[in-house]
Amino acid sequence: MTSSPDPQSATLFLDPAQPLADRVADLVGRMTLEEKLGQLVFNAPAIPRLGIPAYNWWGEALHGIARNGRATVFPQAIGMAATWDPALIEQVASAISDEGRAKYHATLRRYGETGHYQGLTFWSPNINIFRDPRWGRGQETWGEDPFLTGAMGAAFVRGLQGDDPRYLKSAACAKHYAVHSGPESKRHEFNAEVSARDLHTTYLPAFKKLVTEAKVEAVMGAYNRTNGEACCASELLLVDILRGAWGFGGHVVSDCWALNDLHTTHGVTADGAESAALAVKRGCDLECGQTFEHLGEALDRGLLSEGDIDRAVTRIYTTRFKLGMFDPQEMVPYASIPESVINS
């Protein structure tokens, strides 16, 4: 299906005076099916005819943005957790997002586009529970306590996203959802078997707090299965709990190449088309990986509908609009953060 711009409303999605939902719907409605499919991957291509620049969603900010060059590097999360000081952690995250904003706009001014690690979407914080000290990524977490993890993670999200009523300073992402605490070597095939009590008292409270209180913009699905369901396509985690019980309104992104695991190691689907379709239908809106390349085949096979695609594209573009990417920069308060904050 193709869409043609209406001459009478050719710039509706660029009009900041229009409601956010209307602007997003207008833009998505102008995209061809092929264009929409292309936007559901982390390295989304430009759509020149609509004036949409390419965008790479992959950014990291666990304790700074040094993957994007010179930046202030703070202690690892496990060290910052030892402060027991959420107010301090919010200040740390605010400094990180200040630098992210300054770098983003400086790069746009110089080169007209941004690349890998240069955007405003940060796949942080890691709020997994660090139960076993043998797990090699425990230093990224806030420790073994769900309450402290939730308090620190929520503060980090508030600092990253800012407090402007209209615009996000950056988009934070709570990861890895859920029951992802090692073993690292088995993460692509591991099935975490957990009781309902342990799930809801240990592994989910921090995610719930970040979603319902801190209003985190994104959630990343984990590599593993939880009680037999692949986390990036879990009806329980994504449909029943995240969007149903908690009312999450942001977007869900897969961990990198996790969707390939659905058919290669987890065995919950037969092939790439089934994996892509199941993930989208369950609410995974954006992929870090290449399995969504099979979405066209999945549509041809009737495994999902264009409406499913539209829902995912709408969710991710809502985030881009909230970041001010389609508004005059003078309207976006964070666009004026100077480069002098970098590594300061």
Active-site hit among 98, 255, 285, 308? 255
Q: Is 255 a catalytic residue?
A: yes
Query: Three-state SS across the chain?
Result: CCCCCCHHHCCHHHCCCCCHHHHHHHHHHHCCHHHHHHCCECEECCEHHHCECCEECCCCCCCCCHHHCCCCCCCCHHHHHCCCCHHHHHHHHHHHHHHHHHHHHHHHHHHCCCCCCCCCECCCCECCCCCCCCCCCHHHCCCCCHHHHHHHHHHHHHHHHCCCCCCCCCECEEEEECCCCCCHHHCCCCEECCCHHHHHHHHCHHHHHHHHCCCCCEEEECCCEECCEEHHHCHHHHHHHHHHHCCCCCEEEECCCHHHHHHHCCCCCCCHHHHHHHHHHHCCCEECCCHHHHHHHHHHCCCCCHHHHHHHHHHHHHHHHHCCCCCCHHHCHHHHCCHHHCCC
Residues marked active site are found at: 255
